[in-house]
Amino acid sequence: MAANLELVPATAGKRLGAAVLDWLAPVAVLVVTFAIGFAGITRTLSGGFIIYDTASVVLFGSIGLGLTIVYLVVLLGMEGRSGATIGNRVMGIRSADTDGYAPGTGAVFLRGLITGAGIVLAFVAAVLIVIFKWFDIALFILGPLVLLGTVWAVLVVVSNTWDANGKLRGWHDAAAKTLVFDVSAGRNPITSGGIQGPYSFAPLDLPPVQQVASPVARQAAPVQPYAAPPAPAPAQSAAAQPATEQPAPAQAYAAPQPPAAQPAPSQPYAAPQPYAPASFSPPAAPASHIPETPAATLPVPAAATAHPDDDLDRTQMRGGAPYAPPVAVLRIKLDDGRDFQLDQNVLVGRNPVGQAGEQQAQLLAVNDPGRSISKTHLHLLTDGAGIWVTDRNSTNGSAVTTPDGRRTPLQPGVPAFISPGSTVHFGDRSFHLGQA
């Protein structure tokens, strides 16, 4: 059976079931130990004053608190490294960061603190009761606080029900920048390459090279060396020659005469005689003005015809071409001082990966210890006069500050034209667009 590679958000029911399983043990330990401790309080009357003996509360409360802290530390480390807790494993869900990897102990601690804020408040109230000896009203203080804390924890756990973005995040998820996925119904991103999914850097299998005939070049017969046609016999007349071997009539070249050598106006101009193989006589003109070009009047054999590819290596002069101004070279300067020259397509992020059709994009990885930028956060497309910036549905969004100081957020998935001199903000990082 093929594996399901889709990501499925965890439902509110599974979230609540996992939270109950995780919190049941520590809450039970605290309730039992503090109940035993409060039950062991004794009162004695001395000098008209009531003296409370709270040793049992301190003893059993410390035991319960110690066990709870150890349990929470183990649970914190487990979920921070793998996104799994006891309840998560039972319900088939996993918590992750915004890129689909292990959430980290800091994010898990913040989620737990928000969820259990009411219980923590009740615990602080219990400590104050012991310190100030408010035992007579302890039940009236702790009872409502424990009830409110429980209701608050349930609301926080199922708060993803009111999330308009596909019920993906609860209140504690938004604060801690985490996500929860149902790994029993879909893919586990932590073990399969995060949100982007598994990918490989192995080269693709290229198709074999096929010989394709050139649309211009054609196979031509080998060119024979040129051989001048034999001179006709003197006794044979031009009419006796085969018609197929007679060259086309051509006018003999007559160089123009300088003004001093022109004939008198009274003499008519005599046109030069046509070329005749039997009797050829050049026109009466000075020999110094007649170039020797016998090959110009000789027929060219069919084998010496120019090949269609002969003009491919010959530069053709074009007239009237408009002047094209040089395209400006665009560069970006990151806030850490690094400077890059941009290609036509650029992907910016913590570890950018191109989608289909973007294998030739320039990948610009930006170091981000705070993990405020997404794996593939921005797509840049150069346009000579500026760049088109597209936010790739990042978690923390992007914005641009124009040279006049106006800051505008970028809409996810909508390209925005950015002119040189502007600053683009993405997560906690930014870069300045300029020209080389």
Give the total residue count for the chain: 436
CB 38 within 8 A of CB 30: no
Query: Exposed, middle or buried by CB within 10 Å (0-12, 13-18, 19+), for 125?
Result: middle
Between strands 362-365 and 345-349, the pairing is parallel
Residues 6+ apart with CB under 8 A from 238: 232, 246, 276, 277, 278
Name the CA radius of gyration of the chain, rounded: 46
Please state which architecture CATH assigns to domain 330-435.
Sandwich (2.60)
CB 382 within 8 A of CB 328: no
Q: What's the N-to-C CA distance of the chain in angstroms?
A: 55
d(CA 106, CA 93): 19
Backbone angles phi, psi at 205, to 5 degrees: -75, 115
Predicted pLDDT at 59: 86
CA dihedral 260, 262, 263, 268 (to 10 degrees): -160
Residue 112, beta-bridge partner list: none
Consecutive H or E run containing 184? none
Residues of the chain with pLDDT under 70: 1-5, 47-48, 50-52, 54, 198-328, 356-359, 436
| Alpha-carbon torsion (128, 130, 134, 140), positive or negative | positive
Predicted pLDDT at 127: 79
pLDDT tens per residue, range 286-344: 544 445 544 444 555 554 555 555 555 555 555 555 555 555 688 899 988 888 888 88
Residues 6+ apart with CB under 8 A from 163: 169, 170
Residue 83 CA: distances (Å) to CA of 87, 159, 326, 373: 11, 19, 54, 21
Amino acid code (one letter) for 378: L
Residue 49, beta-bridge partner list: 46
CB 94 within 8 A of CB 18: no
Residue ranges covered by each domain of the chain: 12-191, 330-435
d(CA 179, CA 171): 11
8-state DSSP, 292: -
d(CA 59, CA 65): 10
Looking up tokens 């397509």, which residue turns up? 345
Amino acid code (one letter) for 198: P
Upper half-sphere CA count for residue 162 (Cβ side, 13 Å): 8
CB 95 within 8 A of CB 79: yes
Strands of 429-435's sheet, edge to edge? Answer: 339-341, 330-334, 429-435, 423-426, 398-401, 407-409
Residues 6+ apart with CB under 8 A from 399: 407, 408, 409, 410, 424, 425
Upper half-sphere CA count for residue 248 (Cβ side, 13 Å): 5
Residue 349 CA: distances (Å) to CA of 116, 356, 368: 34, 17, 9
